[in-house]
Chains A and B, each alone.
Chain A
Amino acid sequence: MAQVVKRPKRKNPVERTRLPTLPPATRSRVALGLTAAAARGRFELQVCRDCGAVQYPPREVCRICLSQRLFWRRQDGMGELISDTTLHAAQELFFRERLPWRIGDVRLDSGVNVIAYVHHNVGAPPCRIRIEAALDRSGQAALVAMPERGRPALSDDPKLREMTCNPRARKILVTDGKSAVGQAVARALAAAGADLIWIGMAEPWKKSAGFDALRELPQAKVVPLDVTDSRSVRELAGEIGGKVDILVNTSDCHRAFSLAARRGVETAQLEMDVNYFGLLRLAQEFAPTLKARAADGDANAIAWVNVLSVFALSNYPPHGTYSASKAAAWSLSQNLRADLRPAGVRVINLFPGPVDDEWDQLEMPPKLSPAALAAALVQSLQGSVEDVYPGDVAQDWLARNLESPKTLERELGEFDR
């Protein structure tokens, strides 16, 4: 049964504060393939191109025919829980702090065994299960045995909840509420049970009906925040930085034009100032406090979300300078991720395709509605992923980019999308 996450009690300052610890993060290079897939919400295992044998744990050569031609392929995860145990002793501090843990030995239908966490809705062995790949607090892939039917959420299990960043009962900063996306995100987070949503407001002189309506949300609290102004960011961090559990960076400046369409650099500079330097300012002011609060009981800092763009993957010439600013932000977000990972704070990047807003007016459908983007954002927090490509266009670009980045670059340069 789904357990409703309760609002954490006010912290008693006399009680012990749990310090940040992490599950073991060391993996062989080849095993990182599992993490690469899990970061996108997929369970993939190596398969031998020559004999078809599925491999696990990850290997350098095929366990059957010794072929070196192994590739990662999506798995359905179906199998049988053949044995399980509940650990009441652990060697690493992270696990010791959170005992007990249910661990199982699973025989996949593909013929390999996996050691996995077992969701508490799974019955006693032997029973059918489905393996899902999630990310643990170290940001590494962790396999979870889920019930074959019923599809409960990871966060229904109190232990596995820590692999998610469920926004329920959380205090969340949405950096910009002026845009259609920002407003949709704030509404979706409220609907997902957020406890308090600070909504950043730049340019207070600019009136917007949608923004005014946000003020009616009982969880919403409008705060001044201009990400192009270092002092504004610093002041807000000083005021609320120690309370933010999740930071959602919706700040976005999009002025569609290509390299040859406009003289001068001022507009491109503005895009960079919001999309890239804005992230940098936010990171410098908010990341240190997030790290410090990463293990602080149930009211801890857990995630940072960036709304990037699929244009970051490969430059889309009609939106050339915007693509470049989002690519810069993407690169910086990887720095941020490396900085926050040792504390166990997850950085989630969303790479939407064209959004149905004023700046993508000239893009052909399909376009992502702000509400759909917001729903994907909430879902990524409720699940256990790092990189999300919401919508059909983003999925299409991702597939093409994985297949051949050069082909995608050429296609985007010669045709529109």
Chain B
Amino acid sequence: MAARGYDDVVLAAPVTVPYVRYSTHGAHWFLGRAVAGLIAAAKIPKRQIDGLAVASFTLAPDTAVGLTQHLGLTLRWLDHVPMGGASGIVSIRRAARAVQGGDAEIVACVGGDTNHTDSFRRNTANFSQFAQDAVYPYGSGGPNTSFALLTAYYMRRHGATREDFGKLCVAQRTNALENPLALFKKPLTLADYLNARLVADPLRLFDCVMPCAGAEGFLVMRRGTAEKLGLPFARLLGAVERHNAFPADPIQDRGGWALDRDALYAQAGVGPDDIDFLETYDDYPVINVLQFEGLGFCPEGGGAEFIRANSFEVAGSFPFNTSGGQLSVGQAGAAGGHLGIVEAIRQLSGQTLGARVPDARHGLISGFGMINYDRGICSGAALLAAA
């Protein structure tokens, strides 16, 4: 049975709490600043927000529940979405159904984390039971280990090269240079990328996302609400999620998108050829390639060829991670699962901070998250359109 469409649900008020490498603030500060940014952008009183979806790794011992009291929000709809890089997409899906069904009128979706000097190590050391029992004790490399294994496998199996991955990273940096909020301000050359310090063979420094502190947020509401408030918005045409896809694969060289992309495009009524830009979850470049393939832009295993045939800058043949992506903006924990969504809303509603994709009508955002053991478990995607 095909899922019901999203009717006139829209996303508005894209907000970024500027990233910093390290912060002395707690996660509550970043999430609180994000909610403050949302009501400022929407020019509404706090009480008009009646729904909240929260994603954060460093909010513990609190959850979304604690945040309501901390921020003084009285809500009739609340969700906590512990899905890392897929959390933003999942929040959209949950929030859209809530406003469609009338359970909430304006849902604030926020994702964010703080980053103290030792918090990344603590987070990875306690990431999941499987990681604690069966991955972290082997060298304590954190996600670097997992993605090195996936990257090495993909390169061997499909003939991708370091230059292919480097081309994506260099293009993202070019995009980031236009984004005033990106933490990386220096241009990156392919030689810089290829000759950077080894982290976990074949990964080098610029393959690895940099942990930082920050938050992202947006509002989900009906089109009529946005128009009444005078807010620019992007329309939600379709969205999918999948958890623990292909458990029998010996190693991850595809994600759940392969199972869901047909449903996504059918729900949205547009196909891959109609997409004007793509925002992927990009903590390491290999996962971008799995998203190109899974979302139907090229066949499985054809990622390297696709990279060689395209250019990925905002003005390129395939505009991609137009704000710079996490690899050039920074990974503010669960904010990373919202970065692409916030950028896509900006692109489609004429509110870009940096370069704008000319005449963009359709943007695709993809999420990927939670290396629970040997592979990423959560995947999702959402298709947005300009008003």
The yes or no verdict on A and B being binding partners is yes
Interface string of A93-118 (1 = CB under 8 A from B): 01100000101110100000111110
A87 pairs with B136, CB closer than 8 A: no
* A82 pairs with B251, CB closer than 8 A: yes
CB-based contact B251/A105 at 8 Å: yes
A-B contact count (CB 8 A): 121
Per-residue CB proximity of A125-147 to B under 8 Å, as 1/0? 10000000000101010100000
A58 contacts chain B at the CB level, 8 A cutoff: yes
Measured CB to CB, the nearest residue on chain B to A31 is B133
Q: Closest CB-CB distance, B210 to chain A, in whole Å?
A: 13
Tell me if A87 and B145 are in contact (CB < 8 A): yes
A91, A114, A115, A136: the one contacting B142 at CB < 8 Å is: A91
Q: Min CB distance, A91 to chain B, in Å?
A: 4
Q: Contact at A87–B139, with CB atoms within 8 Å? A: yes
Q: Which residue of A has the minimal Cβ distance to B145?
A: A103
The contact string, 1 if C-beta is below 8 Å from chain A, for chain B 138-150, is: 1111101100111
| B277 CB → nearest A CB, Å | 32
Q: Is the CB of A91 within 8 A of B121?
A: yes
Residue interface bits A41-66, CB-to-B below 8 A is 1, else 0 = 00000000000000011100001000
A86-B200 contact, Cβ under 8 Å, with A24-B125, A91-B140: yes
Task: Return A214 CB to nearest CB of chain B, in Å.
Answer: 41
Contact A136 B141 (CB under 8 A): no
Asked if B140 and A82 sit within 8 Å, CB to CB, the answer is: no
Q: Residue B75 at the A interface, CB < 8 A?
A: no
Whether A83 pairs with B153 at a CB distance below 8 angstroms is yes
- Docked CA distance A1–B136 (Å): 29
**A57-B130 in contact (CB<8A):** yes
Q: Which residues of B contact A262 (CB under 8 A)?
A: none
Known A31-B133, A57-B130, A107-B251; contact A117-B200, beta-carbon cutoff 8 A: no
Give B207 Cβ to nearest chain A Cβ, in Å: 12
CB-defined contacts of A28 to chain B, threshold 8 Å: 129, 132-133
The distance in angstroms between the C-alpha atoms of A57 and B125, with both chains bound, is 16
The reply to whether A89 and B144 contact each other, CB–CB distance below 8 Å, is yes
Q: Are B250 and A27 in contact (CB under 8 A)?
A: no
- Complex contact B137–A142 (CB within 8 A): yes
Interface size on B, residues (CB 8 A): 38
Tell whether B198 is near chain A: CB-to-CB under 8 Å: yes
CB-based nearest A residue for B131: A57
Q: Which of B129, B135, B141, B198 contacts A90 (CB 8 A)?
A: B141
Check A136–B137 contact: CB distance below 8 A. yes
B7 part of interface (Cβ distance < 8 Å): no
Contact residues, B100-143 vs A (CB, 8 A): 120-121, 124-126, 129-130, 132-142
Complex Cα gap A26–B121 (Å)? 14
Question: B298 within 8 Å of A by Cβ?
Answer: no
B373 contacts chain A at the CB level, 8 A cutoff? yes
Q: Roughly how many angstroms separate A276 CA and B51 CA in the complex, as a whole number?
A: 67
Residues of B within 8 A of A413 (CB): none
Contact B251 A83 (CB under 8 A): yes
**Known interface pairs A28-B132, A85-B200, A113-B250; A23-B374 also in contact (CB < 8 Å):** no
B208 to chain A, nearest CB (A): 9
Q: Is the CB of A90 within 8 A of B132?
A: no
B152 contacts partner chain A, Cβ-Cβ < 8 Å: yes
Minimum CB–CB distance for A103 against chain B, Å: 5
> Is B62 an interface residue, CB under 8 A from the partner?
no
CB neighbours of A57 from chain B (8 A): 129-130, 133-134, 373
Residues of B within 8 A of A140 (CB): 137
A125 to B373, CA, bound (A): 20
Residues on A with C-beta less than 8 A from B133 are 27-28, 31, 57-58
Q: Per a CB cutoff under 8 Å, which of A25, A27, A95 touches B139?
A: A95
Chain A residues near B142: list those with CB within 8 A: 91
**Which of B129, B134, B197 contacts A115 (CB under 8 A)?**
B134
Q: Is the CB of B199 closer than 8 A to any CB of chain A?
A: yes
CB distance from B203 to the nearest CB of A (A): 8
> Which residue of A56, A63, A105, A136 contacts B149 across the interface (Cβ within 8 Å)?
A105
Chain A: minimal CB distance from B133 (Å): 4
Which chain B residues border A95 with CB–CB below 8 Å?
A: 139-141
Chain A nearest CB: distance from B311 CB in Å?
A: 30
Judged by a CB distance under 8 angstroms, whether A162 is at the interface is no
Task: Tell me if B47 counts as interface (CB < 8 A to partner A).
Answer: no
Interchain CB contact under 8 A, B137 and A23: yes
Chain B 170-199 interface 0/1 with A at a Cβ cutoff of 8 Å (1 = within): 000000000000000000000000000111
List 16 A-B residue pairs with CB atoms under 8 Å apart, sorted by A's residue number.
A31-B134, A83-B156, A85-B141, A85-B152, A87-B145, A88-B199, A91-B121, A91-B142, A95-B141, A101-B139, A103-B138, A104-B149, A105-B374, A115-B135, A115-B138, A140-B137
Excluding A26-B126, A56-B134, A85-B200, 10 further A-B contacts by CB distance (< 8 Å) are: A24-B136, A82-B153, A83-B152, A87-B144, A89-B141, A89-B144, A89-B199, A103-B145, A105-B153, A115-B149
Q: Top 5 nearest A-B pairs by Cβ distance?
A: A85-B148, A57-B134, A31-B133, A92-B140, A83-B153
